Structure 1
Amino acid sequence: MYTVAVQQAAAEAKKKPRRASHRVESDWAPLGTKVSAFVVAAGVLAGAAAAANAMTKSASVNPENGAMDFSSGSSGIHAQTASSKTVHIANPAAEVGRLLQLEKRPAIGYFQQAGKHAADTVENNRKAEEARLAREKADAGKSPHQREVEGWIREAIAILAANGTAIDESSVDEIYTIIQKESNGNPNAVNNWDSNAAKGTPSKGLMQTIDSTFMAHALPGHYDIFNPVDNIIAGVRYTYDRYGGFENHPGLKSINVGGGYQGY
């Protein structure tokens, strides 16, 4: 609710001597314009006062809480807040400007944050597309069998990463080397001649794990030792558990120093 001393202003205006008839319009129009503008400014200030009061109290904004009480006997403007405390505002226009500036700062921050997020998204998409094109170019020279095996590896890596294993596509080549040396890329391979086979627990699958090792390192829902993705998951988790990663895998370490592959 806004109370403005319009009647008093009108009475004072009537006391003034009227000039020529062509000046009547110019005498009264400014008064109406000033009163309207004053009410509009008061409304803006009331909302701003309510917003300021709500922010200090962590409450929702209610314009009525900051309603203005314009008194003819006051040199300033009183903003009545929700706490019934009177705020004296000597310069309403300056106060409105100050409050609007305070409200503008968070908005600018939000826009800047949104712009940075959009730029980062564009950049990440660009890098992902470049990586995809580079991989396709590299894959063009590979055999269909290698592309198939690496597809299984990438699928397993995604599942491993989603389940807490610190691994990414930079390990594709290392896993592929182990698979080629262990099973020649055959997901149904079974070793019937080594010491494990002699014990009745032959190594199976792409990464040649025995049943007990496979089950101890399988992830929920990935319990098929002859499934290429499931076998890779268990083989990688076993390598991490026993050797801490591929850098200590005995077969890869031997190859890196010019030796032959050793089983793990």
Structure 2
Amino acid sequence: MSAFSTRMTKTRKVSIAGIAAAGVAALTLSLAPAGESDAAVAEPQAAQKIAPVAMTLDAPKTLSLDAADQSASAAKVKAAANAAAKKAAAEAAATKKAAADAAAKKKAAAEAAAKKRAADQAASRAAARKPVYANNLDGWIRESLDIMKKHKIPGSYQGLHKNIIRESSGNPNAINNWDINAINGVPSIGLLQVIKPTFDTYHVAGTKHSQYDPVANIVAAANYAADRYGSIDNVNSAY
């Protein structure tokens, strides 16, 4: 190889090396901005990619809370509706009960009034049927005979009258203070001169418990005479 060829070769090598170095430098300069630009672009892109992820994570929480609130609200509405329904039912039941009670009271009052009317009418009829006895010997005997009839005590008007006249002359306050009964401390008293032990034993319920009461005295004496003699009609002397 000649010397020229050798120099040319070296010169070309230097040139090539320089060009290569310049190219590398240019490439390095050109790449550096590109690299920075890519990094700058990459960062917003990364941010954009993260943002949707964050939204995706937050959205279910919001929806879940909304659903819970809606469920709670629905539960409150339902509870309020149930409470209102129960209250309305209770009020209706109370109204119905009050009406039933009022009707029952009205019915009871009507029944009581009807019973009172019936009792008053019965009493009025009984009073109308009840005989009025004179307050004298005749009336006392007649009243005594009606009571004796109810208690199945035998005796007649004549039998009572004759014995009353003989024993007391028709004086209901007559009292014997001289016979053996008086000496023993139990004097004979009244229309038919009955002593206290006999009167108490043969007293008829419904009459006064007094020897001086004319009707009570007659009925007790007639009851005693019926037990001992068969009837007051059979008594013709002291008995």
TM superposition score normalised by structure 1: 0.38
Point out the structure with the larger helix share: 2
Which structure is higher in RCO with an 8 Å CA cutoff and minimum separation 6? 2
TM superposition score normalised by structure 2: 0.42
